[in-house]
Amino acid sequence: MLDKIREQKREKEISARYVFLAIFFWILTISWIVVIFRLSSDTAEDSSKFSHTILDYINELFNTNISDDSILRMVAHSAEFALLTVLSFLALSSTNRISSKTSYAESPVKLLRSDNEMNIIFTLWFTILNAIFDEYHQLFVTGRDGTIIDVLIDLIGIVIVLVIIRVSFSIYMRTKGRTEIVYT
């Protein structure tokens, strides 16, 4: 009887650890979205000056003489959305673990095979929508334009991070001698 009461109490409990982690990672995620928005709000001239400042620093650091900043801009696009992907994945997975009663595991309809896949798919959608919004926002900034090519460049960073997360999770589970809980 006592074990049954303890089990019922555990089922209803909300994990304070995951509440804290979810709040922390959502704050970081939203803060990073604001940074991306702010960078996208710079005029073309300001953005170009910033890119050239970074390029000058790289040239000085590695003793090179690169004058074209197009590769730097592509890497920056991918990197800023790669970081957004990491932060949003951590926020979503922490949110999903706040309570075992409200997690994806307890959902009556399972469209995906596991919690990890659910977090990856939601992160993919969340970050792609942010990339599209970022490019749309640039349509209204002086001298800037929003292009589908930039969204695809952002997608490269997003996909690379999600593949790393998926592979790392599989390796982690294998080293722990556990298997992923798969819903069928």
Domain housing 66: 15-175
Judged against a pLDDT cut of 70, whether residue 55 lies above it is answered with: yes
Residue 71 within a domain? yes
User: What is the predicted pLDDT for the residue at 115?
Assistant: 81
Residue 8 within a domain? no
Number of folded domains in the chain? 1
- Residue 55 near residue 72, CB atoms below 8 Å: yes
Residue 182 within a domain? no
The mean per-residue pLDDT over the stretch 151-162 comes to 97
The mean per-residue pLDDT over the stretch 88-97 comes to 93
**DSSP secondary structure of 105-168:** GG-S---SSSHHHHHHHHHHHHHHHHHHHHHHHHTTSTT----HHHHHHHHHHHHHHHHHHHHH
Residue 10 within a domain? no
Residue the block writes with tokens 């400042």: 53
User: What is the predicted pLDDT for the residue at 178?
Assistant: 83
Mean pLDDT score of the chain? 88
Structure tokens at 52: 């050239």
Per-residue pLDDT reduced to its tens digit, 97-120:
887 776 666 666 666 677 888 899
How far is residue 108 from each of residues 58, 177, 184, measured CA to CA in Å?
53, 28, 12
Global confidence as pTM: 0.85
Residue 36 within a domain? yes
